[in-house]
Amino acid sequence: TVPQVPPPQRARPKPSSKPAVFIPVDRSPEMQEARLKLPILAEEQVIMEAINENPIVIICGETGSGKTTQVPQFLYEAGYASSNGIIGITEPRRVAAVSMSQRVAKEMNLSHREVSYQIRYEGNVTDETKIKFMTDGVLLKEIQKDFLLSRYKVIIIDEAHERSVYTDILIGLLSRIVPLREKKRQPMKLIVMSATLRVEDFTENKRLFSAPPPVIQVDARQFPVTVHFNKRTPFDDYSGECFRKVCKIHRMLPPGGILAFLTGQAEVHSLCRRLRKAFPFRKNKVEGDGDKEDTVEEISRFKKSRRKKTMTLPKIDLDSYSVMPVDEGDEDREAETDDEDIAGSDHDLDLGDDEMEEGEKSDSSLPLYVLPLYSLLAPEKQAKVFRPPPPGTRLCIVATNVAETSLTIPGIKYVVDCGKVKKRFYDKATGVSSFRVTWTSQASANQRAGRAGRTEPGHCYRLYSSAVFGDFEKFSPPEITRRPVEDLILQMKSLNIEKTVNFPFPTPPPTDALVAAEELLIALGALQEPPKTGRLKELQKAKLSCPISPLGTVMASFPVAPRYAKMLALSKQYDCLPYTITIVSAMTVRELFEEFDRPAVSEEETEKLKGKRARVVQMQRIWAGQGASQKLGDLMVMLGAVGACEYAGCTPQFCETNGLRYKAMVEIRRLRGQLTTAVNSVCPDAGLYVDPKMKPPTAAQVTYLRQIVLAGLGDHIARRIQAEELLDEKWKNAYKTPLLDDPVFIHPNSVLFKQLPEFVVYQEIVETTKMYMKGVSAIEPEWIPVLLPPYCHFGKPMEYPPPSYCPETGKIKCHRPSVFYRVGWQLPAVEV
Ligand code: ADP
Ligand code: MG
């Protein structure tokens, strides 16, 4: 036997000392050359020294300077990724996580097993992974499982300037995790990377970092960009204005890519279509591209071939979900017609004479290679923007604000900026949300302009006047100050952060938002109730530091909003889980049905939309079912639609025919799988398995589902205004909710629009012409005191008149014996 020699005593490395190793990377010469052009390469030594010497470093650099792609490589080469810890990078957008992991793998000549990504539904992480790109939400979930993030040697928080809520929370958490790791002698590095915007929120925030971390500024070689403002601002038709501007640039200005910023996916597609039609490919076929959308000829051939085929629907089990036979007329999809005479548009363009030398004008017959770019675009299609356009064409990318900072597209010389952005707005008091297109901020507009000067001097055409620009906000306020925070608060409570007001947020959410979130969580039973008696000051203090309850812990383990998590937590009873999982998935994904209310471009389209809408209304009525199931309303429609779609094999055709969004259906399927796994891990005896096809619920189950929905959406109750309460004719068919002073209405697209049940719960209120409730289900008032005691007053236990609504307090009053008060979460029995 070999004598036992004690291992040599190695000096412990100083926590922040440089790892001794240097890991060589085998890059191709072309890659190496391309890298050397990036401004960040000049700063490698400075950056690595700062990282070696400091636990926390902030790197600031203009978009495109190479932060995202290069810093992970610097760290890898310096030996920061090893068997006992890897490099993690968070991105606020899924697009960026996927595409950046692919890019870095390619640059380093490593496989996707080593440079991997993880986003909500998918990933390719392996045991060999050394560099892991992920969305910020993914890392937050990992912190819940392992607070010290012991798998990581380095965490890079990328795009910190975007100030997404998860990024903000992560920075707050990591500001505490880093010193803890240091204490445990397993040091970890935190690198915060940002475009050159407002880093003071991080550096000058004493609660966040006791000593301000060093900031390294990467000077990008930015070429001058000439900004041209429109003389007047087209307030409505910015899309049309964008089209005209791109056409004019393409006709009149020298070669160079065009990047146009619009606000949403539908607009992006519509502009792409118009541009492709205006400047079709004539000779140039795109080689090896395989994307049929790229030439107009191909589109029409494709459409013709589809038209000829007779559509046969997959067989559907009629006992499960009834589906109407398809009339063939619906399948006949015409290419969208767009007869605008492009040559005739002589809009007053501000293309100054200086850049339009005679003779320099380009040939207007040059084809335009038009590509869309938005965050939900399939990754293969996203990757196309990085490839050079086919020879003899001009690249034109029509993008949403993903192209603002997360992705840098090569070869852009002209930027067309509509100046708008689509944002979700919340009313803090009521939780009413609406998507609104608003002016962007000055900082964002400047970011957009900067995209034009990456490779040579460029031009930015702003489709608004300089006066309008002057009125823009300087910066967009961080997301955390603009949205409800109950999901974050629940996550924080599950990390045992009880006093959320003391949390080191880079920018704290308003206190009323914190209070609203805690109140909701208490009402849902996710937090332990604060004491009811005592001194007011103490009571108020206790209110904002309630620990999590056992129910809350279960809820926090589901990757959905707390209201939906509560629904899942109740659903093991009466075998309701598969249905609740489906309903919750559908509510989380939102917008199952195509939008038919959009303005049509032509009369023909108007007719087409009308036809489609009629069919969808018919289908919704079928899916809502008969008798008892009807009362589950729009949620029954969701259940029916998902069930029918799965029975039909979840095909694009089925979705198209029935007005469902195929993408939404695919996402629902994924989320159902994910939630099933989550339920099984929380409750192993649930024994659920993923069966996309489920039998329709029984009448009793539908009633239980209505109770479950009520328990989750308890603060979203509405009661129909009775005839005698009608103060005003315009309140006819209106509902009153405890939260709002104004009347609300059932959305015309709801299956309960005509039925007007007395008590309903709704998924959300959206404000368009009126306040509309969407996702509506009917409930029975006697369930309220059982399932939602915090929302009820209790009258005298002797008499039991039906619950009534109190207009002064806005509360629903239930005159029920307080015996009901603590029945727990058992669902009331249902007579079958
Ligand atoms: P930053 O993070 O500072 O904004 P990036 O590291 O994202 O910069 O980009 C650096 C350079 O790498 C840019 O010039 C960009 O065009 C290029 N690049 C990024 N992704 C790809 C890709 N998938 N294909 C080709 N070039 C890319
Ligand atoms: Mg980046």
Residue-wise pLDDT for 77-101, tens only, equals 999 998 889 999 999 988 889 999 9
Asked whether residue 832 carries a pLDDT value surpassing 80, the answer given is no
Cβ density class 276-305: b for 16+ within 10 Å, e for less: bbbbebeebebeeeeeebbbbeebeeeeee
Average pLDDT over residues 797-813: 50
Please tell me the number of the ligand nearest to residue 105's CA: 1
Cβ of 406 closer than 6 Å to ligand 1, yes or no, is no
List all residues 6 or more positions away from 575 whose beta carbon is below 8 Å from its beta carbon.
Answer: 701
Please tell me the number of the ligand nearest to residue 90's CA: 2
The residue whose CB lies within 8 Å of the most ligand 1 atoms, and thus the one to mutate among 35, 67, 69, 101, is 69
Task: Report pLDDT for 597.
Answer: 66
Nearest ligand 1 atom, CA 61: 3
Which carries the bigger pLDDT value, residue 467 or residue 309?
Answer: 467
Task: Report pLDDT for 551.
Answer: 87
Task: Report pLDDT for 563.
Answer: 93
Name the nearest CA neighbour of 351 among 255, 259, 253, 447. Answer: 253
Q: How confident is the model at residue 685 (pLDDT cuts 50, 70, 90)?
A: low
Q: Which of the 8 DSSP states describes residue 481? A: G
Asked whether residue 813 carries a pLDDT value surpassing 80, the answer given is no
- Taking the C-alpha atoms of residue 720 and residue 516, their distance in angstroms, rounded to an integer, is 25
Cβ of 386 closer than 6 Å to ligand 1, yes or no, is yes
Asked whether residue 316 carries a pLDDT value surpassing 50, the answer given is no
Largest CA distance in the chain: 98
List all residues 6 or more positions away from 409 whose beta carbon is below 8 Å from its beta carbon.
Answer: 257, 259, 373, 385, 386, 397, 403, 451
Cβ of 103 closer than 6 Å to ligand 1, yes or no, is yes
With a pLDDT cut of 90, the percent of the chain lying above it is: 38
Asked whether residue 815 carries a pLDDT value surpassing 90, the answer given is no
Structure tokens at 817: 């014996």
- pLDDT, tens digit, for every residue of 541-554? 666 788 998 889 88
The residue whose CB lies within 8 Å of the most ligand 1 atoms, and thus the one to mutate among 102, 161, 408, 451, is 408
- Taking the C-alpha atoms of residue 105 and residue 749, their distance in angstroms, rounded to an integer, is 47
Question: How far are the Cα atoms of 53, 435, 447, 572, 711 from residue 704, in angstroms, in the given order?
Answer: 60, 33, 52, 11, 11
Average pLDDT over residues 492-502: 88
User: Is the Cβ–Cβ distance between 222 and 450 less than 8 Å?
Assistant: yes
Q: How confident is the model at residue 136 (pLDDT cuts 50, 70, 90)?
A: very high
Q: How many CA atoms lie within 13 Å of 427's alpha carbon, on the beta-carbon side?
A: 13
Nearest ligand 1 atom, CA 69: 6
Report how far ligand 1's centroid is from the alpha carbon of 64 (Å). 6
Structure tokens at 123: 């990933």
Structure tokens at 142: 């990992």
Torsion angle defined by CA atoms of residues 86, 92, 96 and 102, in that order, rounded to the nearest 10 degrees: 20
Adjacent-strand bridge partners of 812: 792, 805
Asked whether residue 298 carries a pLDDT value surpassing 70, the answer given is no
Please tell me the number of the ligand nearest to residue 61's CA: 1
Task: Report pLDDT for 548.
Answer: 92
Find tokens 């040697």 and name the residue.
153
Burial of 782 (0-12, 13-18, 19+ CB in 10 A): middle
Cβ of 410 closer than 6 Å to ligand 1, yes or no, is yes
Average pLDDT over residues 176-188: 94
Residue whose CA lies nearest to ligand 1 atom number 5: 66
Cβ of 422 closer than 6 Å to ligand 1, yes or no, is no
- Taking the C-alpha atoms of residue 712 and residue 169, their distance in angstroms, rounded to an integer, is 25
List all residues 6 or more positions away from 63 whose beta carbon is below 8 Å from its beta carbon.
Answer: 195, 404, 405, 408, 447, 450, 451
- pLDDT, tens digit, for every residue of 512-527? 888 889 888 988 889 9
Cβ of 68 closer than 6 Å to ligand 1, yes or no, is yes
Asked whether residue 812 carries a pLDDT value surpassing 80, the answer given is no
Task: Report pLDDT for 737.
Answer: 81
Nearest ligand 1 atom, CA 193: 2
Task: Report pLDDT for 50.
Answer: 96
Average pLDDT in the chain: 79
Asked whether residue 310 carries a pLDDT value surpassing 80, the answer given is no
Cβ of 38 closer than 6 Å to ligand 1, yes or no, is yes
Report how far ligand 1's centroid is from the alpha carbon of 42 (Å). 16
Q: How confident is the model at residue 484 (pLDDT cuts 50, 70, 90)?
A: confident
- pLDDT, tens digit, for every residue of 626-680? 888 889 999 999 999 999 999 988 899 999 889 898 888 998 998 898 888 888 8
Cβ of 257 closer than 6 Å to ligand 1, yes or no, is no
Which carries the bigger pLDDT value, residue 697 or residue 365?
Answer: 697
User: Is the Cβ–Cβ distance between 630 and 754 less than 8 Å?
Assistant: no
- Taking the C-alpha atoms of residue 581 and residue 368, their distance in angstroms, rounded to an integer, is 46
Asked whether residue 45 carries a pLDDT value surpassing 50, the answer given is yes
Q: How confident is the model at residue 22 (pLDDT cuts 50, 70, 90)?
A: confident
Report how far ligand 2's centroid is from the alpha carbon of 194 (Å). 8
Residue at 295: amino acid letter: T
Task: Report pLDDT for 501.
Answer: 86
Angle between helices 238-252 and 265-278 (to 10 degrees): 40
User: Is the Cβ–Cβ distance between 783 and 737 less than 8 Å?
Assistant: no
Residue whose CA lies nearest to ligand 1 atom number 14: 64
Which carries the bigger pLDDT value, residue 745 or residue 575?
Answer: 745
Asked whether residue 762 carries a pLDDT value surpassing 90, the answer given is yes
Question: How far are the Cα atoms of 68, 357, 573 from residue 674, in angstroms, in the given order?
Answer: 29, 59, 20
ipTM of the complex: 0.98
Q: How confident is the model at residue 800 (pLDDT cuts 50, 70, 90)?
A: very low
The residue whose CB lies within 8 Å of the most ligand 1 atoms, and thus the one to mutate among 36, 44, 103, is 103
Cβ of 64 closer than 6 Å to ligand 1, yes or no, is yes
Name the nearest CA neighbour of 660 among 600, 709, 723, 591. Answer: 591
